[in-house]
Chain A
Amino acid sequence: MNKHDNEQIYCRKLGHWLTFNYCRQENNELPCRKILDCWFEKIPIKEFLKENYTEEEISYIFCSSKPKISSLIEIIEQAKKRSNKTP
C-alpha cells in the first residue's frame, strides 16, 4: 500500500507539491478522484488500485462529478441538515 508514498507531484487542486501518500487518502481515506489522471504516467496506478481497493470502493472513488454549481447546492443542503436549521 505505501510503496509509492514518497513520490512527489504538483497538485492542481491545492496548488503545491505533495506526495502520493496524500493522494491515496484524500477522499475520506480513499484515493482522490483525480488519482488516475495525475499519476498514470508515473506509477502503475491501475495495478495499485486493483491491488488495494474493492470494486465498490473504486466505484465510489470514481463516481461522476457534477457541475460546480450543482455540487454547491448539495453541500448547502448537507450543511443545512447538519445545522438543523433552514435560513
Chain B
Amino acid sequence: MQIKTFLSESEIPKQWYNLAADLPSPLQPPLGPDGNPITPDMLAPVFPMNLIEQEVCQERWVDIPEGILNILYKWRPTPLHRAKALEKYLDTPARIYYKNESVSPPGSHKPNTAVAQAWYNKEFGIKKLTTETGAGQWGSALAFACSIIGLGCKVYMVRISFDQKPFRKTMMQTWGANCIASPSDTTNAGRAILEKIPDTPGSLGIAISEAIEEAVSDEKGETRYSLGSVLNHVLLHQTIIGLEAKKQLEKAGENKVDTVIGCCGGGSNFAGLAFPFVNDKIHGEEIDIIPVEPTSCPTMTRAPFVYDHGDTAKMTPLLPMFSLGHDFIPPPIHAGGLRYHGMAPLISQAIVEGLLSPQAIHQLECYESAITFARTEGLICAPETSHAIAATIREAKKAKEEGKEKVIIFNFSGHGLLDLAGYKNYLAGNLKDYPLPDEEMKESLKSIEGLPKPKAQKTGKW
C-alpha cells in the first residue's frame, strides 16, 4: 500500500490558478475612503507594482517565475499522504488524503506566498519588507523568505503575543528578521499609543499601522509592506497546493474527488487547496468543497453583527444590524447572503454563489479529532488545522453510514509543535463547548425580523 505520493521537481506546476477569471459573478471593485474604486497608485506606497498587477489580475493562469520555483523546491512539491491508519481507525470505506504543508521550513503553508511576495519585491528593487504578526506563523514565514531571498525584514509582533510566544520570535530572529514588540517607539503610531497607554498589550490593528507607517515613511522608497492572507495575490500564490494535489491524486489512481476540505480563517490555506477544485466544480464536476471554521467566532456560518446593503450599494453607509436604544446586539445568527468581513473576497463570493459549503465545528470535537489524528497518522497539527481534520472525520463517518467509497482530501496546513497550549488544556479537561440554545437562537432571529436584508449577487447555478 502506497502511503505517500510524490511529484518530482520537474512535475511542479509552472502556473498559479486565478479563480477571479472563472467566478460566475464577478467581484465588485473595492472602494477607497472617498467612495471611488481603489486604483493601483493608491496601493503603490505599500506594494510593488508587479504584485498590485496580480491583485487585480483577471487572467486564469499566471506563470510562476523560475526564480520562485527554485526556492520552492526546498520543500515543494509537498507530499500527498494517504491517511490509511486513520481510515482503519474509523473503519470507513472513504479514501482519505491530506496535502502535507507542514514540511516547509517554518512548518506551514504560509511560505508559499511569503517567498513569492519577497521575490517580486526584490525584482522591483525593494530592500526591506515590513509586516505584522500575532502568534508569529506569518512573521516567521516572511522572515524565512526574506532571509533566503536577501531582503531585510522587520516584524511588528503584537506585544501580548511577543511575550507569550517567545519561540516564534526566536525563529524570526534566527532567520535574521528584526522582530519587535508592537506598539514600539520606532513609529509615530506606536509612540502615540504608548504615550496614552504605556502598558498596552497591543493589537493587530496597531501592529499593521506601524508596519505600514514604516513602509510609507521610507524616504528612499526601498521599503514595502507584506500581508499573509485575504488579498487576491496571496490566494493566487497558494493555489500551487491544489494544483500539485490534483496531479498527485491522479498518480495515486483517483479519477474523481468527492470532498475537498480546508480550515478557513483569512482564507489562504483553504483557497490554496480548494480553488483548483472549485474550477472543476464550475465546469461541471460534482464536488463538496468545505471551508471549516470554529463555532466560536464564526465569519462564514453565522452572521456578524453588521451587514451592508449588498455589493451593489457600497456607496451607501453600512447598516448596523443592532438598533441602539432597543434590544441591541443580538448574538450571531445564521443569515445567508452577507458579505463575510475578514474573509477573502474571492471566498466570500464563492460562498454566495453556492460553490462552497461552510461548516462550523466546536473546539472539543476539533481537539478530539486532532488527538485521533496524532495517534493514528502521527502528526500533531496546528490548532487551525484541527478544524479540517474534524470535518474530514465527519465526512468519513458519513461515508461509512452511506456505504460509499468517497475520496476525501484535506489540507494539513501546518504542524502545532509551537502551539501546544490548546492540547494541554484539552488533555487536562479544561476545555468546554457552549452550544447556543435553540430558544436563544429563535429570540435572536425574531429580533432582526423586519430589518432590510442584503441582496446577494449570484447566478443561482449552485
Residues of A within 8 A of B (CB): 8-18, 22, 25-29, 32, 34, 36-38, 40-42, 46, 49, 55, 58-59, 62-65, 67-70, 72-80, 82-83, 85, 87
**Which residues on the B side are within 8 Å of A79 (C-beta)?**
189, 209, 212-213, 215-217
How far does the alpha carbon of A11 sit from the alpha carbon of B296 in the complex, in Å? Answer: 10
**Which residues on the B side are within 8 Å of A40 (C-beta)?**
331-332, 436
Given A58-B328, A68-B230: A77 and B33 interface contact (C-beta under 8 Å): yes
**Which residues on the A side are within 8 Å of B219 (C-beta)?**
85, 87
Q: Which of B183-240 contact A (CB under 8 A)?
A: 187-189, 193, 196-197, 200-201, 203-205, 208-209, 212-213, 215-219, 221, 227, 230-231
Q: Which 7 A-B pairs have the closest CB atoms?
A: A41-B434, A14-B134, A15-B135, A64-B318, A83-B217, A79-B213, A38-B297
Number of A-B residue pairs at CB separation under 8 A: 172
Q: Which one of A26, A27, A36, A80 contacts B332 once the chains associate, using CB atoms below 8 Å?
A: A36
How far does the alpha carbon of A15 sit from the alpha carbon of B422 in the complex, in Å? Answer: 11
Determine the residue in chain B with the shortest Cβ distance to A29.
B197
Determine the residue in chain A with the shortest Cβ distance to B221.
A87
Q: Mark B294-338, 1 if CB is under 8 A from A, else 0.
A: 111111001011101000000000111010110011011000000
How far does the alpha carbon of A8 sit from the alpha carbon of B363 in the complex, in Å? Answer: 13
How far does the alpha carbon of A82 sit from the alpha carbon of B215 in the complex, in Å? Answer: 12
**Which residues on the A side are within 8 Å of B160 (C-beta)?**
14, 18, 22
**B209 and A15 contact, CB distance less than 8 A:** no
**Which residues on the A side are within 8 Å of B21 (C-beta)?**
none
Tell me, yes or no, whether B42 is within 8 Å of chain A by CB. Answer: yes
**A67 and B135 contact, CB distance less than 8 A:** no
**A36 and B320 contact, CB distance less than 8 A:** no
**B46 and A72 contact, CB distance less than 8 A:** yes
**Which residues on the B side are within 8 Å of A11 (C-beta)?**
134
**A87 and B216 contact, CB distance less than 8 A:** yes
How far does the alpha carbon of A40 sit from the alpha carbon of B187 in the complex, in Å? Answer: 36
**B436 and A78 contact, CB distance less than 8 A:** no
Determine the residue in chain A with the shortest Cβ distance to B321.
A62
Determine the residue in chain A with the shortest Cβ distance to B383.
A10
**A62 and B322 contact, CB distance less than 8 A:** yes
What is the size category of the interface that chain B forms with chain A?
A: 35 or more
How far does the alpha carbon of A71 sit from the alpha carbon of B45 in the complex, in Å? Answer: 14
**Which residues on the A side are within 8 Å of B318 (C-beta)?**
64
Given A16-B419, A79-B209: A36 and B329 interface contact (C-beta under 8 Å): yes
* 19 further interface pairs, Cβ-Cβ under 8 Å (given A14-B204, A75-B208): A9-B296, A12-B294, A15-B135, A15-B137, A15-B383, A29-B200, A37-B304, A42-B296, A42-B434, A63-B320, A64-B341, A69-B38, A76-B42, A79-B189, A80-B216, A82-B188, A82-B189, A82-B217, A85-B219
Q: Which of B3-33 contact A (CB under 8 A)?
A: 30-33
Can you list 19 A-B pairs with a CB-CB distance of less than 8 A? A8-B425, A13-B134, A15-B135, A15-B419, A16-B134, A16-B161, A36-B305, A36-B331, A41-B295, A46-B331, A55-B325, A55-B328, A64-B319, A72-B227, A73-B32, A76-B42, A82-B189, A83-B188, A87-B216
Q: Which one of B38, B363, B419 contacts A70 once the chains associate, using CB atoms below 8 Å?
A: B38
Tell me, yes or no, whether B374 is within 8 Å of chain A by CB. Answer: no
**A34 and B216 contact, CB distance less than 8 A:** no
**A62 and B43 contact, CB distance less than 8 A:** no
**Which residues on the B side are within 8 Å of A17 (C-beta)?**
164, 421-422, 425
Q: Which of B32-76 contact A (CB under 8 A)?
A: 32-33, 38, 42-43, 45-46, 55
**B329 and A22 contact, CB distance less than 8 A:** no
Q: Which one of A9, A26, A76 contacts B212 once the chains associate, using CB atoms below 8 Å?
A: A76
